[in-house]
């Protein structure tokens, strides 16, 4: 079946299935989801506020206790970002005040140069806040963070190096200039920094990275590798491997989501057709994959050996849904919104959405951090919640004929 027909067919299937699952109107559905999010986040922030200073929730441990992370953790921007999304969902000033407090605790992250995830950390917190409230001080943080991220650009290879290779487990892999597909998610910070500052350096770094990644990270079937290692001198590919997937040649589910979302963002800022086409090609790969479940919440790796017993990854599904709502704006009538709705409705069921007061007060259950590292297996993750909230906002905006938050 051709891609266009496949997407259309799956879109119709989504409509049929969601119609069977619930007779609720979209307004009722969103109202119930927002109410549930507010309950969980009120419980979560009550614990934080009782502590007296900001503690940043990421996940839960094996005993079900909330795991808090320092500000230099790559996930530190997601919960502050969720507070901004709560404010956007509800208009309640309570969430704005908490968002400002938690976001501003990350101020020093703008100077972090030893890994690439400053884009996640500042983008989901300061950039989300700036889009909603346009604080001048936030603009300065965003641009400074982009300068820090830009120090990781390697001109010989034309890419932003992901990890340093002189510390931790990364130092044991023999890499010279490792680049992970996740890095596509950090380019938004650079594009925005150019828009806010007028300095095109950030834009050119972002497009160089996107172009080289598009050339070297994708297989013939348009699935993507997790890690590509380059020579620093001239950018020759040294190896293609994985760090968080099942195997070097397997298709790690969240990596595919990062690619779909990341290239959609690149199209947003450049209007370069090749970027949107890459997002569509990788989307087509996961939709055609024989191991994609009917509810469109993927197993943690499309090639996991223990499917169907393998853990699902709600974070990959939520990220993909959010990207699909944006893609709908660039290709209306292709069924992207229907696919996104199908994913969102799946995540809203008791199979994935936690009961109130459980799950460490996170919204979604059943995400996976890194099975090869034995870390965060079948647990809630703050970034799954963030992208789920973002997907809900984009769904509402599409249905109300309102612009996405990045256009406000």
Q: What domains lie within the chain, and their CATH numbers?
A: 1-53+283-408 (1.50.10.10)
Q: Which pLDDT score, from 0 to 100, does residue 406 have? A: 56
**Given 46, 72, 107, 182, which residue is catalytic?**
182
Catalytic residue among 27, 61, 117, 295: 117
**Contact, 83 vs 99, CB < 8 A?**
yes
Q: Could you tell me how many residues make up the chain?
A: 408
Q: Sorting pLDDT into bands at 50, 70 and 90, what band is 24?
A: low
Residues 322-344 have pLDDT tens digits of 999 999 999 888 999 999 999 99
Residue of 311, 321, 308 whose CA lies nearest to 369: 311
- Establish whether 306 is a catalytic residue: no
Q: So what's the pLDDT on residue 165?
A: 84
| 117 is a catalytic site residue | yes
* Burial of 302: CB neighbours in 10 Å, binned 0-12, 13-18, 19+: buried
pTM for the full model? 0.94
283-328: pLDDT as tens digits:
999 999 999 999 999 999 999 999 999 999 999 999 999 999 999 9
Alpha carbons 134 and 171: distance in angstroms, whole number: 40
According to DSSP, the residues that pair with 154 across neighbouring strands are: 159
């Amino acid at each position: 079946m051709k891609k266009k027909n496949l997407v259309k067919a799956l879109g119709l299937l989504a409509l049929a299935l969601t119609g069977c699952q619930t007779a609720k109107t979209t307004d009722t559905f969103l109202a119930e989801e927002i109410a549930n999010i507010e309950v969980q986040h009120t419980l979560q922030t009550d614990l934080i506020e009782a502590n007296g200073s900001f503690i940043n929730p990421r996940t839960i441990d094996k005993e079900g206790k909330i795991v808090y992370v320092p500000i230099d953790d790559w996930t530190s921007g997601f919960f502050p970002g969720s507070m901004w999304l709560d404010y956007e969902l509800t208009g309640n000033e309570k969430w704005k005040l908490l968002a400002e407090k938690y976001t501003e605790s990350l101020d020093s992250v703008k100077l972090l140069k030893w890994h690439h995830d400053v884009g996640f950390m500042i983008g989901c917190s300061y950039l989300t806040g700036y889009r909603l409230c346009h604080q001048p001080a936030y603009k300065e943080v965003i641009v400074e963070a982009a300068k820090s991220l830009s120090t990781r650009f390697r001109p010989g290879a034309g890419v932003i190096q992901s990890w340093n290779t002189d510390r931790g487990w990364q130092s044991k892999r023999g890499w010279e200039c490792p680049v992970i597909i996740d890095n596509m998610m950090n380019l938004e910070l650079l594009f925005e920094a150019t828009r806010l500052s007028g300095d095109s350096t950030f834009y050119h770094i972002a497009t160089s990275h996107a172009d080289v990644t598009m050339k070297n990270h994708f297989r013939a079937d348009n699935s993507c590798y997790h890690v590509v290692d380059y020579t620093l001198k001239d950018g020759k590919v040294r190896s293609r491997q994985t760090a968080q997937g099942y195997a070097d040649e397997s298709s790690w589910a969240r990596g595919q989501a990062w690619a779909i979302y990341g290239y959609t963002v690149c199209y947003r800022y450049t209007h370069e057709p090749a970027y949107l086409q890459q997002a569509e090609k990788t989307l087509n790969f996961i939709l055609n994959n024989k191991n994609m479940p009917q509810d469109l919440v993927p197993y943690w790796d499309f090639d996991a050996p223990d499917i169907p017993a393998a853990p699902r990854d709600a974070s990959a599904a939520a990220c993909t849904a959010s990207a699909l709502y944006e893609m709908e704006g660039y290709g209306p009538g292709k069924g992207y919104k229907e696919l996104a709705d199908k994913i969102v409705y799946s995540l809203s069921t008791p199979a994935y959405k936690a009961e109130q007061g459980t799950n460490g007060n996170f919204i979604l259950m059943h995400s996976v951090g890194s099975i090869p590292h034995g870390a965060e297996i079948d647990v809630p993750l703050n970034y799954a919640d963030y992208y789920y909230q973002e997907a809900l906002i984009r769904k509402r905006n599409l249905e109300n004929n309102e612009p996405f938050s990045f256009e406000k």
